[in-house]
Structure 1
Amino acid sequence: MSVHLSAQEGQIAPTVLLPGDPLRAQHIAQTFLENPVQHNGVRGMLGFTGSYKGKAVSVQGTGMGMPSAGIYIQELIEGYGCTTLVRVGTAGSYQAEVHLRDLVIGQAACTDSNLNFTRFGGLSYAPIADFGLMAAAYARARAHGYAVHVGNIMSSDIFYQDDPTSFQMWARYGVLAVEMEAAALYTLAAKFGVRALCLLTISDHLVTHEVTSAEERQTTFNGMVEVALEAALGTE
């Protein structure tokens, strides 16, 4: 057990999917996993372990933002020996050609957070994905016929920006989309020598101001989870 996870030793698999929403963790477990068993309910942050095509896999909610996600990611690695961590989440598009319901694979993560500035004494660190996971996810997304983009993403601490045009600077430098957790995931993976990847479904668009419905988000989210499972378990 750790401070925020109540699972016993051996109850969490080496491969873990990380949605922010604990109810999405429950949805993934009930939809994709065989014989899922809940291993965590501390603070309502649900976690489950089951199997996918005969291979053990866990799913753990992380909450919103890097401070919350970082706690669960570090405890999963240090407390339970997890070695492959894949964030599955939603994002807002910064680019006209990255459309609603497209998949984005975060090759690297910019951030406006002070977490890494504090960690590295004011120096700039570039958090990046595991190449093997990234390549596998891209290949599987293409095989399924999904529209998929690979590139830089933005991990922001701020959901409601005072300046609605502030994203345009990042867009000019080719950043594809914004979310809130990947930079912490990639940094901690590097620190502890494990594999990490962030897969995102575009749920809203900062350029066109389009948004997806709850039903559309769920359908596309399921496709992304399938890609994540195939990529993570196929490259162990």
Structure 2
Amino acid sequence: MQTTPHNEAKRGDYAETVLLPGDPQRTEWIAATFLQDVRCVNRVRGALAYTGRYRGAPISLHTTGIGAPSLAIYAHELLETYGAKTLIRVGTCGGLAEHVKLRSLVISQSSSSDSAINRQLFGVYDYAPSANFELLCRAARLAAEMGLVHHVGQTASSDVFYHPDVLGRFAGVRAHGALAVDMETNALYTVAARFGAKALSICTVVDSLVNHEDTDSTERQELFTDMVRLALDVATNATSAEAEPGSPQR
């Protein structure tokens, strides 16, 4: 019998730290490329999940799908049912500022949203979810030590991917410093706060809403290597001296 309606894993199948890719193919690639002693713990609805080890530390991966509602379900169940304590999103985003270039990393400090989900939970309050400060500082430090092009600051999350006013709808958050937009970070930070868990979102910029540039889908797996390596080092509290500059750990 499944432990939840969306997951066939048993209690104890997940590590306390879980990386959250949106795409099941990316989840599978991360498991094969970076982890040792890997086993698949969930295939329900194609939301692939794996548990293995990175530099000797237990790490799990769980696919979240696209958008806030999908991520919120999996994050809630990981924290409530499976005992996860740290969730790190490794996803994609669109640049909202001219200096946020393609292929750079955005480490989200906080995330605004156009979603109605939080309004159902907080009434008259506009809740402002944010990253765990410890993880945020560690990610910023390691990214600098690793020589990665990265930006740290506020982001936005939107429920609408295809919108007739591509950039104008972000005028308010852009004027107040939003660096990039995705669809999941706000939900991740909100659910983590509800459970007193640690959360961080690290995204690779795959298109720019300002310059109308984008990356090719065929190169995206290669683009994610730096992001995933950074997230894994943050998750395991590795130092830059421990991180090998060459190929990913297998």
Shared fold (TM-score, shorter chain, > 0.5): yes
User: What are the residue-to-residue correspondences of 1:177-192 with 2, within 5 Å?
Assistant: 177-192=180-195
Match of 2:92 among 90, 96, 115: 90
Contact 2:26–2:221 (Cα < 8 Å) also in 1:
no
Query: 1:120-131 residue pairs with structure 2 within 5 A?
Result: 120-131=122-133
1:99 aligns with 2:106: no
Mapped pair 1:138 → 2:140: yes
Secondary structure of the residue that 2:106 maps to in structure 1?
strand
- Is the CA contact (8 Å cut-off) linking 1:94 and 1:168 kept in structure 2? no
Q: Secondary structure at the match of 2:154?
A: strand
Q: Please state if 1:211 is matched with 2:214.
A: yes
Whether 1:198 and 2:187 are equivalent positions in the alignment is no
Q: Any conservation in 1 of the 2:72–2:187 contact (CA below 8 Å)?
A: yes
Report if the CA contact (8 A) 1:33-1:51 is conserved: yes
- CA deviations over 1:73-127 (Å, ceiling 9, x no partner): 0000011000010000000000000000010000000000000011101321000
Match of 1:174 in 2: 177
| 1:230 counterpart residue number | 233
Kindly state the Cα deviation for residue 22 of structure 1 after the two structures are TM-superposed: 1.3
- The gaps in structure 1 that reach 5 residues or longer are none
Q: State the Cα distance separating 1:215 from its structure 2 match.
A: 4.1
- Mapped to 1, the partners of 2:4 and 2:81 lie a distance apart of 6
How far 1:2 sits from its partner (Å)? 1.7
Distance 2:8 2:141 in 1: 36
2:141 and 2:203 map into 1 onto residues whose CA distance is 15
Q: Aligned equivalents of 2:224 and 2:144: distance in 1? A: 16
1:10 matched to 2:12? yes
Normalising by structure 2, what TM-score? Answer: 0.92
Q: 1:158: which partner in 2?
A: 160
| 1:4-41 Cα shifts (integer Å, max 9, x gaps) | 11111211100000011111111110111002100000
Deviations 1:21-71 (A, max 9, x none): 111111110111002100000011100000000000000000100100000
Superposed, which structure 2 residues align to 1:30-69 within 5 Å? 30-69=32-71
Size of the aligned set, in residue pairs, is: 235
Q: CA contact under 8 A between 1:101 and 1:217: conserved in structure 2?
A: no
Displacement of 1:166 after TM fit? Answer: 1.9
CA distance in 2, matches of 1:217, 1:151: 23
Instruction: Give the residue type in structure 1 aligned to 2:153.
Output: G
Task: Please state how far the C-alpha of 1:216 moved relative to its aligned partner.
Answer: 3.5
Cα distance in 2 for partners of 1:233, 1:7 equals 23
SS of match in other structure, 1:91 = strand
1:116 and 2:118 are equivalent in the alignment: yes
What secondary structure is seen at the aligned counterpart in 2 of 1:118?
helix
Q: CA RMSD in A?
A: 1.0
User: Within 1, Cα distance between the matches of 2:206 and 2:98?
Assistant: 14
Tell me what 2:247 maps to.
none
Provide the C-alpha distance between the structure 2 equivalents of 1:94 and 1:4, rounded to a whole number of angstroms.
34
The one-letter amino acid of 2:229's match is E
Tell me the amino acid that sits aligned with residue 209 of structure 1. Answer: H
Q: Aligned with 1:166: secondary structure?
A: helix
Please give the TM-score of this superposition, normalised by the length of structure 1: 0.97
Query: How far did 1:168 drift?
Result: 2.9
Using the TM superposition, give the Cα deviation of residue 220 of structure 1 relative to its aligned residue in structure 2, in angstroms. 2.2
